[in-house]
Amino acid sequence: NAGVTQTPKFQVLKTGQSMTLQCAQDMNHEYMSWYRQDPGMGLRLIHYSVGAGITDQGEVPNGYNVSRSTTEDFPLRLLSAAPSQTSVYFCASSYASSRSYNEQFFGPGTRLTVL
Amino acid sequence: DQQVKQNSPSLSVQEGRISILNCDYTNSMFDYFLWYKKYPAEGPTFLISISSIKDKNEDGRFTVFLNKSAKHLSLHIVPSQPGDSAVYFCAAKTGTASKLTFGTGTRLQVTL
């Protein structure tokens, strides 16, 4: 199993550009989520999905869109990049909460810089 | 409003000694708690968890203690090793939801 994979590893954007961060998992997990990590702020939830076709907003959703057309993939789209979106982005997946445990597995992260 | 707080941004401990990382929470609906470890340039990895029906869970060198009345949990690492140097995140969830609320993290440095 590859686990949770993210591409690209690094990205530099100019203000106003758009891009998609890719996330895929091969563990047949129902739940997928996106976090951003900023110094002193910990991991903050951007968007999450409890299954294909179902998405919801997290703590910091503004400026980001998501979709979940398959169980495996959960891309994060930046519509018009801003310097405030400079961060490290992590995708995570887990079984749904109805299971006895739902440890989340994280991808290696995408380091994004917006100039 | 930070529902999960780790008030110590950093901690330095000598190799072989005990490391104690603390976490406080405000939401009384949280009933499952997890600790994650993160090395630089890697994603967080699950370390240990505890359900609110327990007050202690042990896994090798790692023990998590939960004090529900104080809304406080702690992670004990005994003995600490240089490879334990990392950022540790506390996280919490409610029983019916999959999403986790994370703390701000504590950077542990284990010195020789």
B13-72 tens-digit pLDDT: 999 999 999 999 999 999 899 999 999 999 999 999 999 999 999 999 999 999 999 999
Q: Say yes or no to pLDDT of A100 above 70.
A: no
- Minimum distance, in Å, between the CA of residue B97 and any CA atom of chain A: 6
Alpha-carbon distance of A21 to A78, in angstroms, equals 8
Amino acid at site B80: S
The span from the CA of B6 to the CA of A101, in Å, is 23
Would the CB atoms of A103 and B43 count as touching at under 8 Å? no
CA–CA min distance A80, chain B (Å):
26
On the 0-12 / 13-18 / 19+ scale of CB atoms within 10 A, B74 is middle
Question: What mean pLDDT do residues B62-84 have?
Answer: 97
Q: Does A103 touch chain B (CB under 8 A)?
A: yes
**Amino acid A101: pLDDT:** 60
Cα Rg for chain B, rounded, in angstroms?
13
Do the chains contact at B41 and A41, CB–CB below 8 Å?
A: no
Measured between CB atoms, which of A102, A103, A107 is closest to B43?
A107
Interface contact B95-A97, CB threshold 8 A = yes
Q: What is the mean pLDDT of residues B3-13?
A: 95
Picking from B44, B96, B104, the nearest residue to A40 by CB comes out as B104
d(CA A105, CA A93): 5
SS3 call for A85: helix
Provide the b/e sequence for A64-100 (b: ≥16 CB within 10 Å): bebbbeebbebbbebeebeeebbbbbbbbbbbebeee
Contact B104 A42 (CB under 8 A): yes
Computed from CA positions of residues A6, A11, A16, A17, in that sequence, does the dihedral angle turn out positive or negative? negative
Confidence band of A102 (pLDDT split at 50, 70, 90):
low
Angle (CA) B63-B64-B68 rounded to 5° is 150
